[in-house]
């Protein structure tokens, strides 16, 4: 199985030297306020930004030294803010994930289409295969992009806010799916309770720096939430799973109310 190791990875003044490891088969989350460097870090890993210092090593191979096609055979990504102007059906879009495994001029084969259909079934979009991609809702588009990543058969899956635009059920479904893939997973999340429930370990970024890392129980503490997010919160075990659940404290002066939102 695949291990990702970042050694002093940096990008201009947006990402200070970062050292972290995603062990084989782990799901590791990046959390932190907006502008903390999560997306910049992920882009350096999957190749849309070239680090200005340091290395991203996948099983010892420097990802920056790999060509785009070689990288895409090993790393799949679900980015955020993807445009919606693909003039393709959903099945055609998903089948593009097979491109790194084919010659440039090769069209889709029957196995490619079967692979795409299987991925669409896994994300609950079987009935949307022949729909034009631009007609999908935001959540449906997000699930289609997850399916496209799945058909790449990646060793490392990188996801930037994969639950954006999804309703609660599909947030849970997508993250549960990621956990079952057998891939090594690195993802950025805003929802701390989802990070606590679905990540093996979490790294916290603030102003381009990693400030701490560890298991969700080690990282998600009232002191950390106050220091990094500036919020008052309690952290309690989930009644069913025991995973840490953040309860935010808010309300008018002189009184506080609790919320897990």
CATH assignment at residue 81:
3.40.50.300
Same domain membership, residue 104 and residue 212: yes
- For the chain, the farthest-separated pair of C-alpha atoms sits apart, in whole angstroms, at 68
Residue 253, pLDDT above cutoff 70: no
> What is the average pLDDT score of the chain?
92
Residue 251, pLDDT above cutoff 60: no
**Cβ atoms 63, 28 nearer than 8 A:** no
Which residue range forms the structural domain that includes residue 27? 4-220
Same domain membership, residue 232 and residue 181: no
State pTM to two decimals: 0.90
Spatial neighbors of 157 by CB under 8 A, at least 6 apart, are 75, 76, 77, 78, 149, 178, 181, 183, 184, 185, 186, 187
> What confidence tier does 155 reach under pLDDT thresholds 50, 70, 90?
very high
> What confidence tier does 254 reach under pLDDT thresholds 50, 70, 90?
very low
Proportion of the chain above pLDDT 70, given as a percent: 94
Same domain membership, residue 193 and residue 134: yes
Structure confidence at residue 166 (pLDDT): 85
Structure confidence at residue 260 (pLDDT): 67
Structure confidence at residue 82 (pLDDT): 62
Structure confidence at residue 81 (pLDDT): 58
Q: Residue 180, SS3?
A: helix
Same domain membership, residue 216 and residue 96: yes
């Amino acid at each position: 199985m695949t291990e990702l190791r970042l050694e002093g990875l940096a990008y201009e003044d947006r990402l200070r030297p970062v050292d972290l490891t995603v062990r084989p088969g782990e799901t590791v989350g990046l959390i932190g306020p907006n502008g903390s460097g999560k997306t910049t870090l992920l882009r350096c890993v999957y190749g849309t930004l070239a680090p200005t210092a340091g290395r991203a090593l996948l099983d010892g191979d420097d990802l920056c030294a790999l060509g785009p096609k070689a990288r895409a055979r090993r790393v799949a990504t679900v980015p955020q803010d993807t445009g919606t102007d693909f003039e393709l059906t959903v099945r055609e879009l998903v089948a593009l994930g097979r491109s790194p495994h084919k010659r440039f001029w090769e069209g889709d084969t029957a196995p490619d289409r079967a692979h795409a259909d299987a991925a669409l079934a896994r994300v609950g979009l079987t009935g949307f295969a022949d729909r034009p991609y631009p007609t999908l809702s935001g959540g449906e588009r997000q699930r289609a992009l997850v399916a496209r990543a799945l058909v790449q058969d990646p060793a490392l899956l990188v996801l930037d806010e994969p639950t954006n635009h999804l309703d609660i059920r599909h947030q849970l479904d997508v993250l549960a799916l990621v956990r079952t893939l057998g891939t090594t997973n690195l993802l950025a999340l805003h929802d701390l309770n989802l990070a606590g429930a679905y990540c093996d370990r979490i790294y916290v970024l603030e102003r381009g720096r990693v400030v701490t890392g560890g298991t969700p129980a080690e990282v998600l503490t009232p002191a950390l939430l106050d220091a990094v997010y500036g919020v008052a919160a309690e952290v309690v075990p989930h009644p069913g799973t025991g995973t840490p659940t953040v309860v935010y404290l808010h309300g008018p002066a002189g009184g506080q109310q609790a919320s897990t939102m």
